[in-house]
Structure 1
Amino acid sequence: MSVKETIHIYHTNDYHSHFENWPRVAQFLKERKAYHEAMKEDVFIFDIGDFVDRWHPFTESTMGKGNIALLNDVGYTAVTIGNNEGITLPHNGLDELYTDANFDVIVANLYYPNRKRPRWALPHQIYETKQGTKIGVIAVTAYYKKLYELLGWDLSEPLTELEIQINRLKDKTDMIILLSHLGIYDDEKIAGLYPNIDLILGGHTHHILHTGKQVNRTTLAAAGKYGQYAGYVKAIKKQDMKVEMDASLMETIKLPSVCNEENIIKSYAEIGKKKLNSEVTIIPEPLSFDWSYPSQLPQILCEAIHEWCDADCTLINSGLVLRPLQRGKVTKYDLHQMLPHPINPCTVELTGAELKEIILHAESDHWPELKVIGLGFRGEVMGKFIYRGIEINRSKLDATIAGKSLEPDKIYKLGTIDMFTFGKFFPEIQRSERKEYYMPEFLRDVMEWKLKKLYGPQQ
């Protein structure tokens, strides 16, 4: 069967502001786009979310708008949002993120609380090739409903929204592509449930599909994380109108280097540092940190969360703190480098018996060197646990809370970090139904507030 049309699709996902790989991928995408256009071929470039991550000073200082300028420069066709765009920016930050975007933003399951769609968010888009093939593109993002609500958004269930959009497109298009920031397991499920979808470009779980994956009649493609790969799908439309998908990945390290590459990469960090150089306070003595032993900065952070959340007691890990503070001027850049995590404080209501289990578990010797990846954590190891309002009697395997004996049936409000509510570190925290998240403030915002209380705001 002869070929009627070839459509070129490039995709990226889960960059998380890892700009060390961006110059090569950007050059590659621009060159490929220019080549296909010169050959009168149709080419589309999509990003599947989490391109913005506030761990990097360039992203932090521009609230993600610098990232959007990078996407503009390449000439992306469309993007969707990941949880890093959706729940690490304050409401206005996300609402204004794409003001200067030269590409479509597609996300079907995001609404304002009044169930109106944001002016910048399309539920789907139809693209038409030079030969008249109509390609419907839908996008959905991960279902962190409660966290979105705390930031002033309403998130609908993604598969329900997806079905609505498929029904609107299936009779109007020749091909349907899903941009899915849901993860590999949901993508496989979707491929089984919705045979109308020809191609799922995935992300969120950082999965790598070197040559794609076929699930029933749907092709899945994904390019890992941090720009380590650039994804490519060649869609070949035959004379009988059937479409074959040929998926592959290009390893970034094997792409041609870029002139002045190292300086370009460094420039992003320098721009961020310069923009974040505003003074917060002045400290009379240096403040230290240690991941294995009690130290100043983790204890100050623990006290700050305790006060911010008005908790009965507080528990955090010292591995959150990544840098010391030197004597003298403290800037927003210093705090960002010390606490780059997109992590929020939270409280969890627990019985005394549950709280005791958590405290005894936190005293285990394995924590300080435990490597931690994901869940917003941008450090290296868990570190020793730090407490406020908790005194431990190790010989009796018991604890007091705010100076009083722990009561097994009493309900306590534990101050901590949202990472422990998502991960499986403490089952008692994860399964509690009484959680309160303090958003949009990150740990560095709470630390800034505490340092100003201790040392005074810089005038």
Structure 2
Amino acid sequence: MADTCTLHILHTNDLHSHFGSMPSIASCLRLHREQWEALGEHVLTVDIGDHADRMDVKTEATWGQVNVDVLNHSGYQYVTIGNNEGITFPKEKLDALYEKASFTVVLGNLFELATGEVPHWAVSHAIHQWEDLCVGILGATASFPLFYKMLGWEARDPLEQLRQQVAALRPHVDVIILMSHLGYPEDCRLARELDGVDIILGAHTHHQLEHGERIGKTLIAQTGVLGKKVGHVRLVWDRQAKQVMEASAELFASEAYLPERELAEYLAQKQLLTEEMLEQTAVQLAVDLDVSWMEETVFGSVLAASLRKWTKAEVGMANNGLLLAPLSKGKVSYRDLLRCLPHPIKPCAVSLSGEQLWRLLAQSIQPETVRRELRGFGFRGKVTGWMGIDGLQVWYEEGEQPRITRIEVNGELLDKERSYRVGTVDMFMLNRLFPDLAEGEHVRFYLPEMLREILAQTLGDAELLAAAQKPRWLMMASS
């Protein structure tokens, strides 16, 4: 037996249901596995979460079962979950997601809220054993404790959980690999503060590390986003010295591999089937609702009014950039709603003073805000867009820096000293685009419904639609 052995880890992350990459990724995984195993070397294939994203029709219609089928077919052995699995799937759907998985879900910081137990579909750690090498595998996901609690889960601090798990696992294995859907900054922190982890395979922040990054004795690797790259970590283990002799990282371009025909055909069939499934009528719409990001629209007012109604607030607010496709009068299908609002964004309510509300509205109409490109926090559009409002009438003067002159809340002059309840979107509480919103009080998030699921219930409200025809932003001549 040789003095050393070699382990290859092929890893992906943040595919976000970008299934077009998967036939090539499947070819890449299979080709290299066969190549290295023919040499007597060891191979692991893993995914680090956010493989499923409900913006895709195949994921939405099957509650992620197509994602699991694809992972099974491609030969993945271990996965962990990301926030797109964890907090965009209702608990009963996440509990059912991995029933047919032929891989192992490793997740060490998420527990059943009622019992404190690890979910039945996951393990807190795994040990992969070969004759000459024993590998411990851990998994952790970004916690979002409030959101998880509302869904029936307890998300614990990853660092403390991992510290305990590494201490328990380290005496029994040669190498420890962490599948981390925590983000690059947190991976760097773990590498500095957590002894005993050899490899961190990262995700969540979509960093692309061409050759990995070494911090202390830990190698961090991450592949970017949407399956454009497949990560490869090569690790050489010295059995005599009982230590890692060498560890390196590189990225393979998915497009360099011939797509696997069988998987491509399966995905094409599922596309047709799931499109048909989502063609069911969600609601009958009495009017056309057009989209424009740069100006007030009836559709923007309808979305704001829907949030206000859902959260039982005094005021509703939502940016027009959320609306990505118009809706036509008549039958509106679930597919139409998905096309219009693909974001995993949910309602929330927050209390603001009149002063904060005034500043927020004033900020929202500045050209740099309206045109600002947005990324992350579930947003699948391009720019912020004009702010749709409900329960408000706002008079303003146009110009290079538009200025608000008067605000009425439900027919009464805004009182800057009074508190107002505002229904809006959770994205604003997370991305801090509007500081006054993020600093509001008595924040409540509404889960698990997404914006499109709310519109499926509110678009049939004739009174709401009629009221939205009336302009809420009233432009005055500059003085």
Whether 1:341 and 2:349 are equivalent positions in the alignment is no
Moved more, 38-47 or 266-275: 266-275
1-side partners of 2:290 and 2:264: how far apart?
31
- Does the Cα contact within 8 Å between 2:371 and 2:384 map onto a contact in 1? yes
Counterpart position of 1:26: 26
Superposed CA offset, 1:352-401 (max 9, x none):
11111111111212233322111111112211111101111225633121
Q: How many angstroms does 1:261 deviate by?
A: 8.8
C-alpha distance in 2 between matches for 1:58 and 1:15: 14
Match of 2:99 in 1: 99
Out of 187-196 and 447-456, give the one that drifted further.
447-456
Cα separation, 2, equivalents of 1:359 and 1:203: 35
Q: Where does 1:166-315 land on structure 2 (aligned, <5 Å)? A: 166-238=166-238, 239-243=240-244, 244-259=246-261, 266-315=268-317
TM-score, scaled relative to structure 2: 0.91
CA, structure 1 residues 315+26, in 2 after alignment: closer, same or farther (shift >3 Å)?
Answer: same
Cα distance, 1:405 vs structure 2: 1.8
- Equivalent of 1:429 in 423, 431, 437: 437
Question: 1:194, 1:310 → 2: CA distance?
Answer: 45
SS in 2 for 1:452: coil
- Residues 268 and 431 from structure 1, CA distance in 2 versus in 1: closer, same or farther, beyond 3 angstroms? farther
- 1:14-66 C-alpha deviation (Å, 9 max, x unpaired): 11111121111111112222333444432111111111100111100011111
Distance 1:47 1:159 in 2: 20
Aligned to 2:171, what secondary structure does the other structure show? coil
Partner of 1:353: 355
Deviation at 1:242, TM superposition (A): 2.1
Percentage identity across paired residues of the two chains: 34
2:448 is matched with: 440
Check the 8 A contact 2:109/2:158 in 1, yes or no: yes
Q: CA RMSD in A?
A: 1.9
Is the 1:23–1:264 Cα contact (8 Å) retained in structure 2? no
2:123 corresponds in structure 1 to 122
5+ residue gaps, structure 2: 398-403, 465-479
**Matches of 1:121 and 1:303 in 2, distance apart?**
40
Aligned length: 454
Residues 140 and 158 of structure 2 are in contact (CA less than 8 Å); yes or no, is this contact kept in structure 1? yes
Once the two structures are overlaid, the 10-residue window that deviates more, 317-326 or 37-46, is: 37-46
1:358 corresponds to which letter in structure 2? Answer: L
Kindly provide the CA deviation profile for residues 103-152 of structure 1, in whole angstroms up to 9, marking residues without a partner as x.
11011011111212111121111111232x21111111102000001111
Deviation per CA, 1:284-343: give whole Å up to 9, x if none.
543222112222322221111111111111111111111112233211111111111100
Contact kept, 8 Å, 2:23 with 2:261, in 1: the verdict is: no
Hey, what does 1:404 align to over in structure 2? 412
Corresponding position: 1:16 with 2:24: no
Cα pair 2:429 2:438 within 8 Å, conserved: yes
Query: Per-residue displacement from partner, 1:265-292 (whole Å, max 9, x unpaired)?
Result: 6555433311211112333543222112
- Matched ranges for 1:103-182 at <5 A: 103-113=103-113, 114-131=115-132, 133-182=133-182
Give the counterpart letter for 1:60 in structure 2: E
CA pair 398-3 structure 1, distance change in 2 beyond 3 A: farther
SS of alignment partner, residue 170 of structure 1:
helix
Deviations 1:234-255 (A, max 9, x none): 1111242221211110012333
Structure 1's unaligned 5+ residue stretches are none
Pick closer, same or farther for the CA change 1:455–1:47 going to 2, 3 Å: farther
Structure-1 separation of matches of 2:258 and 2:344 = 33
The whole-number CA distance in structure 1 between the counterparts of 2:259 and 2:363 is 48
